[in-house]
Amino acid sequence: MKYVSTRGLTDPVSFNEAVAIGLAPDGGLFLPESLPDISPRLPAWKNLSYAELCTEFLSIFATDIPADVLEQIVHRSYGTFTHPDIAPLRKIDPKLYVLELFHGPTLAFKDFALQFLGNLYGWQCAQKNRSINVLGATSGDTGAAAIHGLLGKPLTAIFILYPEGRVSPLQERQMTCTGAANVHAIAIDGSFDDAQRVLKDIFANKSFATQHNLSAVNSINIARVLAQSVYYLYAWLRLPEADREKVEFVVPTGNFGNVFAGWLLQQMGVPILGFKVATNRNDILHRLFTTAEYRSGEVHPSLAPSMDIQVASNFERFLYYALDESPTRVNAVLAQIKATGSYRFDLLNKSVFSSSAASDEDIAALIKRVYERYRYIVDPHTACAFKDLNPQRVSVVLSTAHPAKFPAAIHAAIGQEPTAPALDELKSRPIVKHRLPADAEAIKAFITQRAV
């Protein structure tokens, strides 16, 4: 299987290369050169464990990794999860399920792909006997999960950019209290969008990226997306047949990586009826799916900080398919958005997406309502997904983070503070972080001094 860039100016590369480079040299995002039809395999996959299913699924894409190596990497990655089902699917109402994605080491859905990616990078480094410098941007959870995926790996340094004051205190502690010398948490002045823009600028500087063997942990990396597709598949296989036919996955959305991973699976023949994009007050994608106009705006802090995003990087991947896999058309649309800040699409009637946007007031009310109705505590991101559920469908809400990561918002809504031992132990550790401007030159100078 080869991987092509959404912008069409990069020669196709193998899975290992696409993972190692992260962002395509032409600034585009890698995608499989063609999507397989996996529908004939579904019956045989029904009773597989999470790790077995993941190995089967990824072996279709990671064709340049030996089968036994892939199997070991996958089993090691999900061995760190605390729930035996890895991604338990809980039925909380006749037409409502919650897919719990927070049983990994950092208590957020990012662990699914980043435990895998960390072990994959470890194998690549050992194979080639070379070091890598991993660069990521985070609004809270990717950074923590990437750091914990790479912690203790030899030949590796990790640089994570996050917006100062705009991640939850415990998310910040997960990134800054590791005590590891190869972890560099960099608080920048600005928003997550600023951090992501700087990151893309740095990756676009080919000589710098090559000189330092820069690798990406954000969902610009195709390994992230494919590893995240697996939990949709796992959940779909566990639904009763009658529910499968009506299922809509409801996905708290920021950078569009999570929901895109599910949509991609549908393109491979898994009969999923729809996807609901649940945003917070930063509702660019909700406006897009309701008005067909993409218009970027300013980012506003919210009670669901990891979704405080206006420039959703994986939207480019969706665009590629929506524009008939034509890089020329993708480039033209991106150029118009860059020049004018907006674009009107005529493609949305083809789409299976619906959407919602939750204000901070909504989030607090939804946490309370879900607790009162189901005795179930959801974190502020997951709460967004409970807004305006479609009564005609069976909803599977993706629970993207453990509520203990956001104790203040939960306490304000229901008067309780959920806890988790992994977070409690961080509270007494010293914070080590660096403050830098959201400026590519400043970050590059910092990386140059500390790269391995």
Ligand X SMILES: Cc1ncc(COP(=O)(O)O)c(C=O)c1O
Question: Catalytic residues, which ones?
Answer: 110
Residue 191 partner contact from ligand LJ64HWYM, ligand X, none using kind-dependent CB cut-offs of 5 to 8 Å: none
Q: Which stretch binds ligand X (CB under 6 A): 250-258, 353-361, 369-377, 441-449?
A: 250-258
Taking CB under 6 A as the criterion, which residues in 150-189 touch ligand X? none
Taking CB under 6 A as the criterion, which residues in 211-230 touch ligand X? 219
Q: Which is nearer to ligand LJ64HWYM, 71 or 100 (CB)?
A: 100
The CA angle 173-179-180, to the nearest 5 degrees, is 115
Q: Which is nearer to ligand LJ64HWYM, 238 or 317 (CB)?
A: 317
Residue at token pair 């009826």: 273
Q: Which is nearer to ligand LJ64HWYM, 280 or 395 (CB)?
A: 280
Q: Which stretch binds ligand X (CB under 6 A): 55-63, 203-211, 251-259, 425-433?
A: 251-259
431 DSSP 8-state letter: P
The token pair that represents 112 in the structure block: 């699914």
Q: Which is nearer to ligand LJ64HWYM, 160 or 440 (CB)?
A: 160
Taking CB under 6 A as the criterion, which residues in 376-435 touch ligand X? 381, 400-401
Find the shortest distance in angstroms from Cβ 42 to ligand LJ64HWYM: 27
In angstroms, the Cα distances linking 244 to 128, 231, 403 are 44, 15, 28
**Measured distance CA(206)–CA(311) in Å, rounded:** 23
Q: Would strands 96-100 and 89-93 be described as parallel, antiparallel, or unpaired?
A: antiparallel
347-358 b/e with 16+ CB inside 10 Å = b?
eeeebebbbbbb
Q: Is the dihedral of CA 442, 114, 157, 179 positive or negative?
A: positive
Q: Which residues pair with 395 in a beta bridge?
A: 96, 248
Residue 138 partner contact from ligand LJ64HWYM, ligand X, none using kind-dependent CB cut-offs of 5 to 8 Å: ligand LJ64HWYM
Determine if 111 is a binding residue for ligand X (CB under 6 A). Answer: no
**The one among 257, 262, 403, 407 contacting ligand X by CB under 6 A:** 257
Q: Where are the alpha helices (DSSP H) in 345-394?
A: 360-374, 380-385
Q: Which is nearer to ligand LJ64HWYM, 182 or 218 (CB)?
A: 218
Q: Which is nearer to ligand X, 141 or 172 (CB)?
A: 141
Residue 213 partner contact from ligand LJ64HWYM, ligand X, none using kind-dependent CB cut-offs of 5 to 8 Å: none
Find the shortest distance in angstroms from Cβ 12 to ligand X: 25
Distance of CA 142 to the CA centre of its chain: 7
Q: Which stretch binds ligand X (CB under 6 A): 150-158, 209-217, 253-261, 317-325?
A: 253-261
Binding site for ligand LJ64HWYM (CB under 6 A): 138-143, 218-219, 254-255, 257, 306, 313
Q: Which residues pair with 163 in a beta bridge?
A: 188
**The one among 32, 118, 140, 262 contacting ligand X by CB under 6 A:** 140
The token pair that represents 423 in the structure block: 């977070």
**Measured distance CA(55)–CA(68) in Å, rounded:** 10
Determine if 196 is a binding residue for ligand X (CB under 6 A). Answer: no
Q: Is the dihedral of CA 111, 112, 113, 116 positive or negative?
A: positive
Phi, psi of 294 (to 5 degrees): -100, 115
Binding to ligand X by CB under 6 A, coded x per residue (else -) over 89-108, reads -------------------x
CB 81 within 8 A of CB 227: no
All residues at 6 or more sequence positions from 77 whose CB lies less than 8 Å from its CB, including other chains: 51, 115, 116, 118, 119
**Site residues, ligand X (CB under 6 A):** 108, 140-141, 219, 252-258, 306-307, 381, 400-401
